[in-house]
Structure 1
Amino acid sequence: MAGVSSCMKYSMFIFNVLFWMCGCIILGVSIWMRVSKAAQEDLNLDSSLFSAVDLMIAVGSIIMVLGFLGCCGAMKESQCMLILFFIGLLLILILQVVAGILGAVYKSQSEIDLCDLFSVTILPFHPSISPLLQNQCCGLVKGSEDWGSNFNSPYGNFKICECAEKDQNTDLCIFYSNRYIYKKPCSVVVIDFFKHHMVILMGIAFGLAFIEIVGLGFSMSLYCQIQRK
Structure 2
Amino acid sequence: MTHGCLKCLKYTMCVANFLCFVCGVAVLGLGVFMMVNFKLTALMPSLANFNLASMLLVSGLVITCVSFLGFLGALKENRCLLLTFFLMLFFLLLVELTAACLLLMYEHKIADWVQRDLNQGLQDAKSEHPGESRSEWDLVQMTFDCCGVHNVSDWGDDVPASCCKADCEPPRTPQYRSTGCLDVMKIWFEENFLITGIAVIVFCIIEVLGMCFAMTLFCHISRIGLGYKL
Q: TM-score range by the shorter chain?
A: 0.7 to 0.9
- C-alpha displacement of 1:81: 0.5
User: Is 1:186 aligned to 2:196, yes or no?
Assistant: no
- Runs of 5+ consecutive residues of structure 2 not aligned to the other structure: 42-47, 126-132, 225-230
Alignment of 1:128-139 (within 5 A): 128-130=137-139, 131-133=141-143, 135=145, 137-139=146-148
Q: Does residue 98 in structure 1 map to residue 98 in structure 2?
A: yes
Equivalent of 2:158 in 142, 150, 162 = 150
Matched, 1:6 2:32: no
SS in 2 for 1:5: helix
Paired residue for 2:39? Answer: 46
Deviations 1:168-187 (A, max 9, x none): xxxxxxxxxx9976654211
8 Å contact 2:31–2:57 — kept in the other structure?
yes
* Alignment CA distance shift 1:134-1:13 (3 Å): closer
Do 2:27 and 2:57's aligned partners in 1 also have CA atoms closer than 8 Å?
yes
SS of 2:148's equivalent?
coil
What is the Cα deviation at residue 222 of structure 1?
Answer: 0.9
What's the CA shift for 1:85? 0.8
Shift in CA distance, 121/94, structure 1 to aligned 2, threshold 3 Å: farther
Structure 1 residue aligned with 2:197 = 202
Q: Tell me, yes or no, if the aligned pair for 1:82 and 1:223 is still in contact at 8 Å.
A: yes
- Report the counterpart of residue 223 of structure 1 in structure 2: 218
Deviation at 1:133, TM superposition (A): 4.9
Alpha-carbon offset, residue 32 of structure 1: 2.6
CA distance in 1, matches of 2:104, 2:26: 31
8 Å contact from structure 1 (residues 126, 147) kept in 2: no
Q: What are the Cα deviations for residues 175-223 of structure 1, in whole angstroms up to 9, with x where unaligned? A: xxx9976654211221122112211111111111121111111111111
Q: What are the Cα deviations for residues 133-152 of structure 1, in whole angstroms up to 9, with x where unaligned?
A: 552x4312x43343133138
Aligned-partner SS, 1:149: coil
Amino acid at match of 2:211: L
Give 1:9 shift.
0.8
Residues paired across the two proteins, number: 200
- Counterpart residue type for residue 13 of structure 2: M
Query: TM-score w.r.t. structure 1 length?
Result: 0.75
Instruction: Pick closer, same or farther for the CA change 1:9–1:119 going to 2, 3 Å.
Output: same
Give the root-mean-square deviation of aligned CA atoms: 2.8
* Greater displacement, 16-25 / 148-157: 148-157
Alpha carbons of structure 1 residues 26 and 108: separation in structure 2 relative to 1, 3 Å: same
Amino acid at match of 1:70: G
| Preserved contact between residue 122 and residue 148 of structure 2 (Cα < 8 Å) | no
Residues 158, 109 of structure 1: alpha-carbon distance in 2 compared, 3 angstrom cutoff: farther
Q: Gaps (5+ residues) in structure 1?
A: 160-177
AA paired with 1:205?
V
